[in-house]
Amino acid sequence: MNTVDLAQTGVRELNAQLQGLKEDTNERLWQVLNPKGAHAIAAGLMVPIEVHIEGHPGYYCAGMNKNATIIVNGHCGNGVAENMMSGVVRIKGNASAAAGATGRGGLLVIEGDAGLRCGISMKGIDIVVGGTVGHMSAFMAQSGALAVCGDAGSSLGDSIYEARLYVQGKIESLGSDCVEKEMTTHHVNKLAKLLERAQIRADARKFRRYGSARRLYNFHVDNVDAY
Amino acid sequence: MTGSFPPGHTPPRRSATFDEYAIAEIHRAAATGIYDIRGFGAKRKVPHFDDLLFLGASVSRYPLEGYREKCATDVLLGTRFAKKPIQLKIPVTIAGMSFGALSGAAKEALGRGATAAGTSTTTGDGGMTEEERKASHILVYQLLPSRYGMNPDDLRRCDAIEVVVGQGAKPGGGGMLLGQKITERVAGMRNLPVGIDQRSACRHPDWTGPDDLTIKIQELREITGWEKPIYVKVGATRPYFDVALAVKAGADVVVLDGMQGGTAATQEVFIEHVGLPTLAAIRPAVQALQDLDMHRKVQLIVSGGIRNGADVAKVLALGADAVAIGTAALIALGDNDPKLDEEYRKIGSAAGCYDDWHEGRDPAGITTQDPELSKRLDPVKAAKRLQNYLAVLTMETQIIARACGKSHVLNLEPEDLVALTVEAAAMAGVPLAGTNWIPGRM
């Protein structure tokens, strides 16, 4: 295992090392100590390595991740795994706002709670949250899946496109054009596989499904109150 | 109107308030229940560069000889932090316009023409296409609120990154592309269902405010190895504060877009009633840079209604480092060509007026996704037209600069300018012609 102590080394040096690794590297296991809220830790990784961050990184940890597995043994700041392309990011604690924002692929697991706008504008990422999500989560969510084991804050899925939302707990309110949909056996099985992939213990049958009513895809004056 | 009228009647008279356009718009709103959407920038008359004049050399100054004495035009952008700043041959760049708003042929033509002229193009809300990356030697990649197509591979293969906070046609608004232009290819790139009305968010999804922007810029630098210049683009509203905050957030370049700047589609009321005229935005922006001792260290690109070399020269004289053109570039490619007037009339417009870019029925093949219409634009021929136009802009700027005694176009200065109106004098911070008076200053 390679260990980098951010108390001794800067984020630039760490990221340059990790981004410089080749696809066939044998330096596959990394540990980062003393993140202490530093930003953009492990952002822009490209190869299938595993990075363990011991502590609490700041904003944009694992931003635009491709192929790597990044595990945060702590909480994290805004925008974790923003625009992730592939790979896995796991937060053992809580995530702040905009977790998984605009993510296009891969799996983001937040074992604790996520703040507001979790999965905002998601474009194919799968997000599984063991706890709750905050206000306006899955806002303008285009594709991918968000599964929430706890409660969801207000305006869930506002202006949603074709992303699939699954919530086990209570929902404070649904956003514009987001409606409850039928949870069929097909959806239960898909969710069960997602939860298994995320290593989150929950019964998929206890979740409800939400998605777009598709009334706002083309403007009509009768829907003006929804805008 | 001449002619006789029934007894007791006077000639029909239009209201200045409820003019022909206002009445037609009320009828249209009542019939449809939706606001009017169009492309182009603000069309109303506002103080602009025609209200400024240059003071050429005479006895108190001496000019440079045309054709013999050099007047350089090169510009270096991104010198503040980027390991690989951008060298342009001319101080005119091509502004961000999306694939989706424009046809693939148009994007390719812009790339080819700009490359031939030694300058850059900019992607738009649809992300980076292979045509544009191949055609454009210097490509600026926009980071917009929508993040359509955003990916780290394109971030790494671009030459600069432009964080778009807003644009002049709709500062505070998001992007819009209506269903008729969301074709399979566009939908695929944007990860949307085909045929829907696409609206982008007006704020970025993962940052709000200048403190967050500082951190976001840092992340972009980390992902790209601190190589690329990072631009911050703002629509002109509070330019002094916005430029100052962009500088403090770590921008290498600020792009400032006035209300005459074009858009592919937004609400008419937004275009005409929100934002500042480009002329009014430049001096506060330059003042902010000077107050931070960052003038020429953080470069300023100005856009919005640039039409000719005189406009370019005036923007540079007011303190900018370069201009960006969007609408003018499309016109150079062939938009609003008088030869197409009959076709424009068939779709409810006229040559010189066509702004229904959102409808995707452009007979010039530029602001359309229709494959038959797009074929009408030959990217190679259109690129040559753009190259020609950029050459003329540059030569006109040099002519004026030499006449003012400047050996580099960036040496043009406010002292070379006067204004024809009190408004333009106040906005540009230059004296009213024939006086020493700058309204609003002691």
- Residues B309 and B392: beta-carbon distance below 8 Å: yes
To the nearest whole number, what is the mean pLDDT of chain B?
A: 94
> Whole-angstrom Cα distance, residue B159 to residue B164?
16
CB contact (8 A) between residue B155 and residue A64? yes
pLDDT at B389: 98
To the nearest whole number, what is the mean pLDDT of chain A?
A: 96
Q: What is the mean pLDDT of residues B337-343?
A: 95
- Residues A91 and A112: beta-carbon distance below 8 Å: yes
Alpha carbon of B144: minimum distance to chain A alpha carbons (Å) = 11
- Domains in chain B (CATH in brackets) are 37-411 (3.20.20.70)
Chain A residues touching residue B192 (CB < 8 angstroms): 142, 161
| pLDDT at A226 > cutoff 70 | no
Chain A residues touching residue B207 (CB < 8 angstroms): 78-79, 98
Residues 23-82, chain B, touching A (beta carbon < 8 A): 32-34
Q: What is the mean pLDDT of residues B301-308?
A: 98
Residues 397-436, chain B, touching A (beta carbon < 8 A): none
Q: What is the mean pLDDT of residues A176-185?
A: 96
| pLDDT at B201 > cutoff 90 | no
* Residues contacting B321, CB < 8 A, separation 6+: B75, B77, B91, B296, B299, B300, B301, B410
Q: Determine contact: B215 vs chain A, CB below 8 A.
A: yes
Residue burial B32-54, b: 16+ Cβ < 10 Å; e: rest: eeeeebbbbbbeeebbbbebbbb
| pLDDT at A138 > cutoff 80 | yes
Cα dist. A93→A65, A71, A90, A199, B215 in Å?
19, 10, 9, 15, 22
Q: Is residue A17 included in any domain, yes or no?
A: yes
Q: Is residue A221 included in any domain, yes or no?
A: no
Q: Determine contact: B142 vs chain A, CB below 8 A.
A: no
CB contact (8 A) between residue A59 and residue B225? no
Q: What is the mean pLDDT of residues B386-399?
A: 98
pLDDT at A222: 66
| pLDDT at A227 > cutoff 90 | no
Number of domains in chain A: 1
| pLDDT at B191 > cutoff 90 | no
| pLDDT at B178 > cutoff 90 | no
B8 pLDDT band, cuts 50/70/90, is confident
Token readout for B172 is: 């505070």
Q: Is residue A222 included in any domain, yes or no?
A: no
B189 pLDDT band, cuts 50/70/90, is confident
Chain B residues touching residue A79 (CB < 8 angstroms): 206-207, 219
Q: Is residue A199 included in any domain, yes or no?
A: yes
> Whole-angstrom Cα distance, residue A227 to residue A118?
21
Q: Determine contact: A78 vs chain B, CB below 8 A.
A: yes
How large a percentage of chain B has pLDDT more than 90? 83
Length of chain A: 227
Q: Which domain, by its residues, includes A49?
A: 2-214
pLDDT at B187: 83
Helix (H, G, I), strand (E, B) or coil at B259: coil
Which residue in chain B is spatially nearest to A119 when comparing CA positions? Answer: B205
Question: What's the burial of A18, exposed, middle or buried (CB within 10 Å: 0-12/13-18/19+)?
Answer: buried
Helix (H, G, I), strand (E, B) or coil at B282: helix
Look-up: residue for tokens 């992340």? B219
Alpha carbon of B207: minimum distance to chain A alpha carbons (Å) = 8
| pLDDT at A223 > cutoff 70 | no
> Whole-angstrom Cα distance, residue B360 to residue B357?
6
Smallest Cα–Cα separation from B122: which of B136, B109, B134, B112? B136
The residue ranking higher by pLDDT, B2 or B192, is B192
> Whole-angstrom Cα distance, residue B22 to residue A117?
41
Helix (H, G, I), strand (E, B) or coil at B256: strand
Hey, which residues does B256 pair with through a beta bridge?
Answer: B234, B302
pLDDT at A216: 84
Hey, which residues does B235 pair with through a beta bridge?
Answer: B257
Chain A residues touching residue B196 (CB < 8 angstroms): 161, 217-218
Residues 106-145, chain A, touching B (beta carbon < 8 A): 117, 120-121, 123-124, 139-140, 142-143
CB contact (8 A) between residue B222 and residue A40? yes
pLDDT at A221: 62
Question: What's the burial of B257, exposed, middle or buried (CB within 10 Å: 0-12/13-18/19+)?
Answer: buried
Chain B residues touching residue A61 (CB < 8 angstroms): none
> Residue A104 is nearest to which of B151, B197, B225, comparing CB atoms?
B151
Chain B residues touching residue A121 (CB < 8 angstroms): 146-147, 201, 205
CB contact (8 A) between residue B152 and residue A44? yes
pLDDT at B66: 80
Token readout for B190 is: 């944007």
| ipTM, 2 dp | 0.96
| pLDDT at B1 > cutoff 60 | no
pLDDT at B34: 87
**Strand-pair category, B37-38 with B266-267:** antiparallel
Chain A residues touching residue B212 (CB < 8 angstroms): 59, 78
CB contact (8 A) between residue B206 and residue A78? yes
> Residue B206 is nearest to which of A98, A161, A221, comparing CB atoms?
A98
Q: Is residue A206 included in any domain, yes or no?
A: yes
At CB < 8 A and 24+ separation, what contacts does B289-295 make? B289/B243, B289/B247, B289/B254, B289/B319, B290/B319, B291/B244, B292/B244, B292/B247, B292/B248, B294/B80, B294/B247, B295/B319
Task: Kindly report the CATH number assigned to the domain that includes residue A6.
Answer: 2.160.20.60
pLDDT at B174: 79
**What one-letter code names the amino acid at B280?**
A
Q: What is the mean pLDDT of residues B125-131?
A: 90
Edge-first strand listing for the sheet containing A29-33? A2-5, A29-33, A50-54, A69-73, A88-91, A107-110, A123-129, A143-148, A164-167, A208-212, A178-181
> Residue B191 is nearest to which of A44, A66, A123, comparing CB atoms?
A123
pLDDT at B94: 98
Alpha carbon of A169: minimum distance to chain B alpha carbons (Å) = 25
pLDDT at B2: 58
- Residues B334 and B385: beta-carbon distance below 8 Å: yes
> Whole-angstrom Cα distance, residue B119 to residue B383?
13
pLDDT at B179: 80
pLDDT at B115: 98
For B293, phi then psi, to 5°, come to: 55, 40
| pLDDT at B367 > cutoff 90 | yes
| pLDDT at B438 > cutoff 60 | yes
Q: Is residue A220 included in any domain, yes or no?
A: no
| pLDDT at A104 > cutoff 70 | yes
CB contact (8 A) between residue A58 and residue B215? yes
Q: Is residue A219 included in any domain, yes or no?
A: no
When scoring A21, A41, A59 by the number of chain B Cβ atoms within 10 A, the one with the most, hence best to mutate, is: A59
pLDDT at B6: 85
CB contact (8 A) between residue B216 and residue A60? yes
Give the number of beta-carbon pairs within 8 Å between A and B. Answer: 102
DSSP string, A154-181: TTBTTT--S-EEEESS-BS-B-TTEEEE
Smallest Cα–Cα separation from B176: which of B185, B272, B167, B27? B167
